Structure 1
Amino acid sequence: MRSTKSQFPDRSGLRAFTVIEIMIAVLIIGLLAAMAIPAFTRMKETSRAVAFVNDLRIASDAFNTYAATEGIWPPDAEGTLPAEIDGYLKLDLWNGATPLGGSWDWDVDKFGAAAGISVHQPTANITTMEMVDKRIDDGNLGTGTFRTRADGFIFIIEFPPVVEEEV
């Protein structure tokens, strides 16, 4: 005859989580993560944009100080810091990648600017670049002092003089 006793030990007095309770806890954690990840991404992009704007202002101040001292903008220097700016701006700020990816570039009489600081081939998305534009300009990348240029964006320090036509 078979015994009616179960081959499993009696655990009725022990407290434990059921599979349903564990699944609900995992679901709640998943929902919290789903809400937190986009917020973290936005905060990260905002931080990168703020760092970029700060570096841009530092560089702009250096070029403006040079122009005020010397009476002229330093010459255009494709992808490198003009030698004339040595002492006005730290090389490590200029020679490294920008906080938004890409490289810094000093432009004279290019891209609709008498003088401007460009970021060439940034890796940041357009939303981040618009965030930068809203922080320093009009929020429109097609107009104002911060705008698109070929393969990047330019912060115009000085616009070309307006030539009035005679009537």
Structure 2
Amino acid sequence: MLGAGSERAFGWPPEEGFTLIELMIVVAIIGILAAIAIPQYFQYIETAKAQTVAGNLKLAVDAVTNAYAASNNHVSTNIYSTLNGNVAHDVADPVYGQGTPAFVTGGPASKCGQVAISASTISAAGPAPTTIKVITSGCTGTLGTSIARACSAAGFPSAAAATGSGVVITQNGGVTP
């Protein structure tokens, strides 16, 4: 009863679809693309975090330098409030996200990606010099190395200066390294 490829038994039209081999090839291609794309995505995320931390370091250096300039006119500046916003944690740490401040002052920072500043307030009688340091201890994977490279690319001559001994800002606004 079947004519030349026109209908199947009981008058149903012929079935069309994909074969198992065609589906397996598509799944294999998707797997290969995922194997290439996923590591690149994670590298992109890590680089973005490192560049944000380097930007935070530059922001902190500029804020402390400006605070020293204001202190020459007898104006005190609370660096913690200036950098983190009026409400604590307005500026989130790029590594840990909301709830963790990107900038800490006074005591040592303990989390990867935080920028630690040795003084919380800059005034005419205030501390001289102030040290700013990026924390890279406790970073997962190669994030610490990426942060050091990004700090170096941001204009700090040595990645070790930004992440090791720190960037030192003096009362007259001098920045070393």
Structure 1: which amino acid aligns with 2:69? A
Structure 1: which amino acid aligns with 2:130? A
Contact 2:116 2:133 in 1 (8 A): yes
Call closer, same or farther: CA 1:116–1:100 in 2, change over 3 Å: farther
Whole-Å Cα distance in 2 between the matches of residues 136 and 47 of structure 1?
A: 13
Whole-Å Cα distance in 2 between the matches of residues 15 and 131 of structure 1?
A: 56
Secondary structure of 1:13's counterpart equals coil
CA shift for structure 1 position 122? 5.2
Residue 33 (structure 1) aligned with residue 28 (structure 2): no
Structure 2: which amino acid aligns with 1:43? Y
Whole-Å Cα distance in 2 between the matches of residues 53 and 93 of structure 1?
A: 23
Structure 1: which amino acid aligns with 2:117? W
- Which range moved further: 86-95 or 54-63? 86-95
Q: What does 1:127-146 align with in structure 2 at a 5 Å threshold?
A: 127-137=145-155, 141-142=159-160, 145-146=161-162
Unaligned runs of 5+ in 1: 1-8, 72-81, 109-113, 161-167
CA shift for structure 1 position 140? 5.0
CA shift for structure 1 position 34? 1.0
Whole-Å Cα distance in 1 between the matches of residues 131 and 19 of structure 2?
A: 65
Residue 116 (structure 1) aligned with residue 131 (structure 2): yes
CA shift for structure 1 position 50? 2.2
- Between 1 and 2, higher relative CO (CA 8 Å, sep ≥ 6) is seen in 2
Whole-Å Cα distance in 2 between the matches of residues 122 and 139 of structure 1?
A: 23
Secondary structure of 1:15's counterpart equals coil
Structure 2: which amino acid aligns with 1:131? R
CA shift for structure 1 position 67? 0.8
- Which range moved further: 53-62 or 88-97? 88-97
Whole-Å Cα distance in 1 between the matches of residues 34 and 27 of structure 2?
A: 10
2:85 is aligned to 91
Call closer, same or farther: CA 1:119–1:90 in 2, change over 3 Å: same
CA shift for structure 1 position 104? 3.2
Secondary structure of 2:163's counterpart equals strand
CA shift for structure 1 position 13? 3.2
1:106 is aligned to 117
TM-score (norm 1): 0.59
Call closer, same or farther: CA 1:93–1:48 in 2, change over 3 Å: farther
Identity %: 25
Structure 1: which amino acid aligns with 2:148? E
Structure 2: which amino acid aligns with 1:99? P
Call closer, same or farther: CA 1:86–1:40 in 2, change over 3 Å: closer
Call closer, same or farther: CA 1:115–1:159 in 2, change over 3 Å: farther
CA RMSD of aligned residues (A): 3.7
CA shift for structure 1 position 28? 0.2
